Amino acid sequence: MINLDENITTGYSWNYKIDNEKIVKLLEDEHIEPSTKLIGAPGTHKFIFVAEKKGEAIIIYKYYRIWEGEESSVEMKEFKIKVY
């Protein structure tokens, strides 16, 4: 499971790519609203993956507005996954 802070009220969202979907696949993709009622408070984007077989994969997340395109990303995170 990967949890990332996300404020969808700004238009930004986390978008991911998996370099090897034979190793891991997305099982669940959910935005969790913030626990506070404060305007502009970030929520959490929860991603749950399932292992498909042994091997390694890299999941790259980029934080950007869809209509501005991936090249407008303001943040990037990379996760290296190893399935035994």
Q: What is the CATH number of domain 2-83?
A: 2.60.40.2020
What are the extents of the domains in the chain? Answer: 2-83
Residue pair 82/53 in contact (Cβ under 8 Å)? The answer is no
Residue 82 CB contacts under 8 Å (≥ 6 apart), including other chains = 55, 56
pLDDT, one tens digit per residue, over 49-72 is 999 999 999 999 999 999 999 999
Q: Please state the pTM of the whole predicted model.
A: 0.89
Q: What pLDDT tens digit does each residue of the chain (84 aa) get?
A: 999 999 988 999 999 999 999 999 999 999 999 888 887 788 999 999 999 999 999 999 999 999 999 999 999 999 999 999
